[in-house]
Amino acid sequence: MHPELEGRYRRLLAAYPVAYRREYEEEMVGVLMAGAEPGSRRPGLRERADLLGGAIRVRLRDRPSLRGSLRDDDWRRALRAIQIFGAIALLGGFVRRVMLIVLPGGPGLDEAIGTPFWFLHPAAWLVVTVAALIGLRRVTAVAAPAAAALEVVTVGSRYESSPSQMLLSAWLVIGVLVVAAASVALVPGGPARRPRGLALFATAVAMLVAGYILDGRVDQGSFIGGFEYGVNMDGQFIFRWAVLLYLPAAVLLLMAWWMQGGPVRRRMVALAMPVVAMAVLVSEGFAGYMFSSQQFNSPIYLAGVQWTILALTPLLAFALAAVALNRYERISYLVRAGLAAETTR
């Protein structure tokens, strides 16, 4: 048999795990060479597909499934933290909307009632938050997807009239879907522990809501939301009083996140990456589309490739974050094992 054929077989077998090749590679090469056509220099297309398919099956068999890994204690604690923290944050956001409506100077309930079922949003996330805090996993697994579906429908309804407004809320859609997915994933297995720092996180959300309301109610010149101070168009010095709430709220959020412990913190970051990726994609990748669509009277709808990018980006962000997390923890484990072996010598 031609040596080039053997080299091609070995390159294909490189797709198998190292431990598997160490045990079976020579035997597999012998069987493949014996079954090859005389004089052939390269494997056939079907043979290549069989070898690569076998490599995928071996790797999937030897690696814990995502469903199995989500039952690990660290992942379950991270899912519970994302579920509860996310539900509290979403509830705070909708409470802020209601407060801006009903406070003096706001549009009032008469205008709000013109929006169909506006009261369902805070009510739905209140149910999710209470059920998650109590630990009613099955109730939360139903309530969270229902509340998420309400937000998806609400945001999607803006597309016909203003695609850019829908895009601005795309991160919210991904956020509610992450909370819903976390709630469903927590149903199998035993109950997960509550996250630490709940009081800190709830206080931070309340401070952020109060800050947003203050921003919406206090006349601060030409600045609209944010942390800055400066001089307005009339030459008057202005200061964002809401900063006095925003900054300590940010500190409390970091403290609540840090209290979860390293493994849980890292998994929380991985679970939050789809939301971050969507926010960055819309603000940076779709900035030109957002600007140009606002220059025309009639809406400019998204193309198929744009929808594909929007759909795949959150999934890809989580996949890359999970792979990076797995690689980091494996390397950290090997380093710790090596250091422990050195110290025992």
Distance CA 195, CA 83 (A): 10
pLDDT in the model for residue 313: 92
Domain boundaries, the chain: 3-62, 69-195+260-265
Residue 194 CB partners (closer than 8 Å, separation 6+): 80, 84, 133, 135
Q: Are strands 229-231 and 237-239 parallel, antiparallel or unpaired?
A: antiparallel
- In this prediction, residue 103 carries a pLDDT of 66
* pLDDT in the model for residue 61: 66
Indicate the pTM of the whole model: 0.72
Mapped to the 3 state alphabet, what secondary structure does 181-192 carry?
HHHHHCCCCCCC
**pLDDT for res 206:** 93
CB 78 within 8 A of CB 271: yes
Question: In the chain, which residues have pLDDT < 70?
Answer: 1-2, 59-71, 100-118, 216-240, 294-296, 337-345
